[in-house]
Structure 1
Amino acid sequence: MKAQQRKSTAIAPRHPKPGWTTLFLFGMLVSQKTGRDIMPDVVMKSVHTEGVGFAPILRCYFDKCRIQQIIDDNVPLDPRRKVLSHGEACVAMITGILFQVLQLYRLCRFAFDTTVLSVILPHIAPHEYFDDRLADTLDAIYDYGIGNLEMPITREMIAQFDIDNHVCHNDPTSASVYGEYNNKTSEGIKITYGHSKKHRQDLKQFVWSLSVSSDSAFPLFQQAYNGNTADVNTYVEQWTRLVDLLDREDFLYVADSKLITKENMAHIHDHDGYFIAPAPMYESYKKAFFAALENHHQERLIPYKDQTNRGFEAPFSFSHNQKEYEFRMIILYDQGLASRKRNALHNRAEKTRQAFAELTPRLNAYQLKTRESIDKACNDILRKYQSAEFFTYTISNEPVVTYKNKKKGRPKNGEEPEKVEVITDHFSVALHFNETAFEEALYRCGYYPLITNKSQEDLSIEEAMMAHKHQYKPEHINRRAKSGFKLEPVYIHTPKRIEVYLFLFKIALQLVILIERTARKNLQARDKGLDNFMPNRKDVRNPRAENMLKAFEYVVRGHMQLPDGTSCGFVSELTPLQREILKILEVPDHFFSYDYLFDTS
């Protein structure tokens, strides 16, 4: 951000004398027309520039969302704090997250080294962002209640940008941490060992559940849980939080298969809510799914992208707490899924055959001399490749009879040694393939069941399919949080402060999504994308926020010392692409003017 953008224009002279300005401009004009430099020798004694980057865009969106004002209106400030309010501290930390400054103690140095925070909060001196002050804000927000503050901020964003929330998705993830964490206090989540989705059982973790709207995957609500919390125990609480946030129960709640338990489904249904999720392949659900596949007679064609899917439905019922529930099981067929699953099924069968072929020459030696050890090895193969449904095996024993001398040592001359019979087990394994079961499994490939309590009049099969297919949105946001924005490792060691920091992290994700959503909405409205934006690409209609903001990387502000001792300030002249990006982001050009950015009066 410190690099200079070559083309710049002076737009805010502080106290220039008319004589010098007139002489300078007249000399430039005559020089261009005559080719001769008739100006007096003028030497600029110093030109100092500093990076501005995309900080004005962030300032615009902070102002639109009223983040600072909402926090300051709700979280009481210690009267001894005279300079930095809690809202300003949160804005600074959110900005640090977007610039990958994730340690609190580094934010003060970030404020000294760049002009980003001086653009967003021009009246705050860099030394005010020290880590103890920022930690005080985290503590104050935790004491006030994260949810109590999260709701008005998100509601303001929903109102300002007209976010559609009739379909909401939820997906929990685990975030690994490194080092020791202070779990001695009773406040906050417990950082502990649990089921790691990264398969890092050696690392402690916490569970982070994120709910998003189907409209552009806008983050609605987040909550942190103990590291050993099972996902199945988070869905009802997240649904309840969404009801409080949106002040409605009639939205469709979409989640993964761990939502489908009798307790979860009954709770949401009894409280006038709606849900849809894939059925887990436990025995009871599998039995109902297979029965529906065997007994259905007609399927409905569903156009999807460049292919045609199919679907039908069957009733699904269960009992819970002496009450009967009648729901819908919607069974969909996806061609792409069918192709992938059939290939996987053939691969599993072939690998099972190869494993048994490799086992044969190893029989009757070392650790495979007994029936029990061979039976265990065969079961391990079927378990590894999940093919016990298609293969059976028989272990046969054909003992080998040999003879040896009854007595040790060499027999006497002319004496025939007495022989004894020695029987040695000789096992073999025969693998049997159940072709009927395999063909039935091939037929079921591509079908998957969804369970919902919403009526057919309110949720068609096509709408159910699209709601489930959009479940990738919270998963995509979670991956983006971990990779692009470095959610892990977490550099804060106090659990309650981690919870507040995750709340600020969600606000940073909200701003990113709002930037992208605004750009795509305006590109769609004008039916023309961005040119000269990506290498070798024209008409880009789905620009990522990171790439749009990077286009402002070399925007600088500067000061020039004029010969008469006065100074002149300027901001880099924006390129046509930068102006076009500002237009689709609905950011006025004056946000990049010198007067607006650096006039602290």
Structure 2
Amino acid sequence: MANDVNNNVETKPIGFAPILQHYFHKCCIVDIIDQNVPLDARRKMLTHGQASIAMITAILFQVMSLYKVCKFARESNVLDVIFPDISPDEYFDDRLGDTLDAIHKFGIGNLELLITRHIIEAFEIQTEICHNDTTCAQVYGENNKNRSEQSIKISYGYSKQYRKDLKQLVWSMTASSDSSFPLFQQTYSGNTADVETYVEQWHHLIDLLGKKNFLFAGDSKVATHGNMAHINDHGGYFLSPLPMYASYQEALFKALDKHDHETLIPYKDQMNRGFEVPLTFEHENKSYTFRMIILFDQGLFYRRKKSLLERITKTQVAFDELAQKINAYKLKTKDSIEQACQAILKKHKTQAFFDFVVHNDPVVTYKNARPGRPAKNAEKIAVYQDHFSIELNYNESACTKAQYQIGYYPLVTNKPASGFSIEDAMLAHKNQYKVEHLYKRSKSGYNLEPIYLQTPDRIEAYLFLFKIALQILVLMERTARIKIAERDKGLDNFMPNKRDVRNPKTENMLAMFEFVVCGVILLHDGSRQYFVSKLTETQKDILSILDVPEKCYTHQYLFDTS
């Protein structure tokens, strides 16, 4: 029996490479890049489209450094599956860097339009509502080498991760409400304010989608007079929460005091409500009137109420502790005590619910009028020493009124009510999280930060490829959930102790193929037998909902070029 054992078996992992190959082919990424980005005649083996796919694949396998792609290609058959005729040694970092330079030189925005338009048509992505947001990406070291006047500048700026010690760039992305599919991305210099990016992104979306009647949804920084006026004057629609500036806050409170009815809105087993009033402002000698939609959210109300009551309790505790410390050290004067009281109210943001009075009840003591041993019936004089106390007054009516208001938040839009109800506005705003989840996916799941590339042009091109990687992930997730809905049956044996999983994440589906390998067996007669791991029933089911044929996991399909 021992002589029948064959130890001449070589295997290499391929993981989910056949699935990627199927989606790359359907998205026509290689063809579009190669048809538009000119290739240096000295490059014989690897086109720009193939190099781009190699970097996108490396991103999805969390190989983020260009110099590691060669090692990744040698140690697995992943890139060999996608490009069987290319040697692993062709994916060296200088060659990949050349592709990044060529993409930037051709125009990242031009390739964005060509590739994304094709994907939108191929997968029938819905683009009626587009969500935009920005984030900052941190970098290490010197990253402004070979920078031209048109390049972004890696610099210090407002860090959303509170890393003021690191330089950064600003990354803006727009996603469709349809499965949060990434539509367009652009990088900006590290000190660019978010408010300056929205109008430009809106114009890019018009070029991409070929229309203006989509709804552009963003955060509160969209709601500047200039942004709203520009989009409205050029025939577009926007939706944004209103920032709580004094003028907007006054308009909100005035509307809450005067409104007499609200529309009930069912949402996630609870009942929200809302109403709307006109919002008018002046900009560049022109008057604008938009819809201010004021919504009440049950979950928001309970969270804010809990926070408010906690702040009130903390304020009272802080004043009790302060009362034990006055009349000593630095709290011996009325001014110093009042400053300490104001600091407490400011810290807990409870100025509207409390006022205080600092009382002074001097303590009188007597001492001899003259120094030395006192004589009998010696004259004495009174000495007055300040003794302060704090009287804290709680305004219960103000707190009650605040609790009535805290569940409401205002949105502003210029889309007419005839085709965009209050409920539509609420649902569109609540889907704003989708683009935020793309950033979370980028930074936590795929280790976007820190960026180690040293030239701004290459960083911009690399983030463009990173967005394509996100598009592939979303397409897989979207396809799977559509197929599950069509067959009305989810995945079994997919998550621990769960059956009929109907909302699988791409990362979890691809992880099921982690240990799939291809290999070769050297037989005793000198011949070779090639094979690919036999798929489990769960893996076959995943391929079915991803719309990937099972033959993609056969050796003949992957490697037989005859």
TM-score of the superposition, structure 2-length normalised? 0.97
Asked if the contact 1:175–1:205 (Cα under 8 Å) also holds between the matched residues in 2, the reply is: yes
Equivalent residue in structure 1 for 2:32, among 46, 70, 74? 70
Q: Which has the larger radius of gyration?
A: 1
Q: Which residue, out of 533, 536, 551, partners 1:590?
A: 551
Instruction: Give the SS at the match of 1:362.
Output: coil
Q: CA deviation at 1:233?
A: 1.2
Counterpart CA distance in 2 for 1:577 and 1:327 is 52
Is it true that 1:249 corresponds to 2:212 in the alignment?
yes
Counterpart AA for 1:563: H
State whether residues 183 and 191 of structure 1, in contact with CA within 8 Å, keep that contact through their aligned partners in structure 2.
no
Alignment partner, residue 326 of structure 2: 363
Matched, 1:402 2:360: no
Alignment of 1:4-153 (within 5 A): 42=4, 44=6, 46-153=8-115
* SS of 1:137 mapped into structure 2: helix
Q: Offset of 1:183 from its aligned partner?
A: 6.0
Deviating above 4 A after TM superposition, structure 1's stretches of 4 or more consecutive aligned residues are: 40-43, 405-408, 414-420
What letter matches 1:256 in structure 2?
D
Query: Residues 179-328 of structure 1: matches in 2 within 5 Å?
Result: 179-182=141-144, 185-186=147-148, 187-328=150-291
Alpha-carbon shift at residue 196 of structure 1 (Å): 1.6
Mapped partners of 1:127, 1:297: distance in 2: 73
* CA drift at 1:331: 0.9
Could you tell me how far apart the structure 2 residues matched to 1:590 and 1:406 are? 110
Question: Which residue in 2 is equivalent to 1:580?
Answer: 541
Say yes or no: does 1:461 pair with 2:427: no
Aligned in 2, Cα 1:50/1:183: closer, same or farther, shift over 3 Å? closer
Contact 2:130 2:175 in 1 (8 A): yes
CA distance in 1, matches of 2:7, 2:164: 62
What amino acid does structure 2 have at the position aligned with 1:398?
D
| In structure 2, C-alpha distance between the alignment counterparts of 1:420 and 1:236, rounded to whole Å | 77
* Aligned-partner Cα distance in 1 for 2:7–2:319: 84
Equivalent position of 1:518 in the other structure: 479
Q: Which of 353, 358, 375 is equivalent to 2:316?
A: 353
Deviation at 1:406, TM superposition (A): 5.0
Tell me the residue number matched to 1:470. Answer: 431
Q: Which runs of 5+ in 1 are unaligned?
A: 1-36
CA distance in 2, matches of 1:43, 1:504: 46
Moved more, 574-583 or 397-406: 397-406
Task: State the percentage of identical aligned residues.
Answer: 58
> How big is the shift at 1:443?
0.6
Partner of 2:388: 427
Distance 1:449 1:96 in 2: 43
d(CA) in 1 for partners of 2:29 and 2:346? 54
CA contact (8 A) 1:43 1:563 kept: no
For the structure 1 residues 570 and 376, does the alpha-carbon distance in structure 2 shift closer, same or farther, using more than 3 Å as the test?
same
The residue identity in structure 2 corresponding to 1:270 is: D
Query: Is residue 2:81 matched to residue 1:154?
Result: no
Q: How far did 1:417 drift?
A: 5.8
Counterpart of 2:296 in structure 1 is 333
After superposition, the C-alpha distances for 1:76-101 in whole angstroms (9 at most, x for unaligned) are 11111111111111100001111110
Q: What code does the residue aligned with 1:337 have?
A: L
User: Quick one: distance in 1 between partners of 2:181 and 2:220?
Assistant: 22
Superposed displacement of residue 181, structure 1: 2.5
Q: How far does residue 190 in structure 1 lie from its aligned partner after superposition?
A: 1.8
Distance 1:491 1:134 in 2: 14
Q: Structure with the greater relative contact order (CA < 8 A, sep ≥ 6): 1 or 2?
A: 1
- Count of aligned pairs: 561
Q: Which shifted more, 589-598 or 418-427?
A: 418-427
- Is the contact between residue 42 and residue 563 of structure 1 (CA under 8 Å) also seen in structure 2? no
2: distance between equivalents of 1:358 and 1:520?
Answer: 57
Whether the 8 Å contact between 2:55 and 2:465 is mirrored in structure 1 is yes
Deviations 1:409-453 (A, max 9, x none): x427x4666544433222222111122211111111211111100
What is the one-letter code of the residue matched to 1:190?
K
Write the distance in 2 (CA, Å) between the matches of 1:589 and 1:216: 25
CA-atom RMSD in angstroms = 1.7
Alpha-carbon separation, structure 2, partners of 1:544 and 1:420: 85
- SS in structure 2 at match of 1:61: helix
Secondary structure of the residue that 1:564 maps to in structure 2? coil
Measure how far apart 1:41 and its partner are. Answer: 6.4
| 1:423-572 correspondence runs (5 A) | 423-572=384-533
Deviations 1:258-315 (A, max 9, x none): 1111000000000100011111110111111111111111111111120111111111
Give the deviation of 1:184 after TM superposition: 7.1
Determine helix, strand or coil for the equivalent of 1:441.
Answer: helix
Contact 2:147/2:457 (<8 A) preserved:
no
State the shift of 1:340 in Å: 1.1
On the 8 A contact 2:293/2:411 being kept in 1, the answer is yes
- Separation (CA, whole Å) in 2 of partners of 1:154 and 1:464: 27
